[in-house]
Amino acid sequence: MKGLARLFSVLTALCLLGAAWIMLAPQRPEPAPRVPPLTAGLDGPVDHIQIRKSDRRMTAYRDGRPLKTYRIALGFAPDGDKRRQGDGRTPEGRFTIDRVNPGSAYHLSLGLDYPRPQDRARAAAEGVDPGGDIFIHGQPNQRPDGETLPGDWTAGCIAVTDAEMRELYAAARIGTTVEILP
């Protein structure tokens, strides 16, 4: 009996030490995301992206020819043009990609030049903040690759799967036009 009690005590102590190790061990930083090669999926650059909000579709073009169409998620209140910060709408109009972010919290991202001067002027006239930081991006980084959030879930951005975002990130350039239609 004493031997069994001693074995149980040793096993309990080892379990407690293991739990303490897991809880107190230093966290390793996540490695920087790898920037995909240009040849990923679209076989070269795109010069225009068209988004049809009502269809939840985004099409990449080169020289006026559609190359590929993607299913998208939008802001959580997608109907209508973006009016102000926090309204959950995705803006409508003609934009350009003005920045890229390989370290995005949403698996790579392509930034749009929203708000444009006319968006700022309208917001100022209405006494509201027009918002900003509208991106085409993948899924939240904490989700497993290949797993997508359902429905329209962004704060106004355009979301695709992580694999699709790798294709777009490799093919789009700063200056690529993005047309967002109702």
Q: What is the pLDDT of residues 125-143, one digit of tens each?
A: 999 999 999 999 999 998 8
What SS3 state is found at 120?
Answer: helix
| pLDDT > 70? residue 18 | no
Q: What is the pLDDT of residues 48-107, one digit of tens each?
A: 999 999 999 999 999 999 999 999 999 999 899 999 999 999 999 999 999 999 999 999
138: closest CA among 112, 109, 181, 173?
109
Q: Which amino acid, one-letter code, is at 83?
A: R
C-alpha angle with apex 104: 129 to 45, nearest 5 degrees? 100
Question: Do the bridges between strand 48-52 and strand 177-181 make them parallel or antiparallel, or are there none, so unpaired?
Answer: parallel
**pTM as predicted:** 0.75
C-alpha angle with apex 37: 35 to 39, nearest 5 degrees? 150
According to the model, what pLDDT value does residue 32 have?
43
Q: What is the pLDDT of residues 23-63, one digit of tens each?
A: 555 554 444 444 444 334 688 899 999 999 999 999 999 99
| pLDDT > 70? residue 116 | yes
| pLDDT > 80? residue 1 | no
Report the CATH fold assignment for 48-181: L,D-transpeptidase catalytic domain-like (2.40.440)
Residue 39 near residue 170 (C-beta atoms within 8 A): yes
82: closest CA among 48, 114, 111?
114
Residue 159 near residue 84 (C-beta atoms within 8 A): no
Instruction: Compute the average pLDDT of residues 148-157.
Output: 94
How many angstroms separate the CA atoms of 61 and 42, rounded? 10
Instruction: Compute the average pLDDT of residues 145-167.
Output: 94
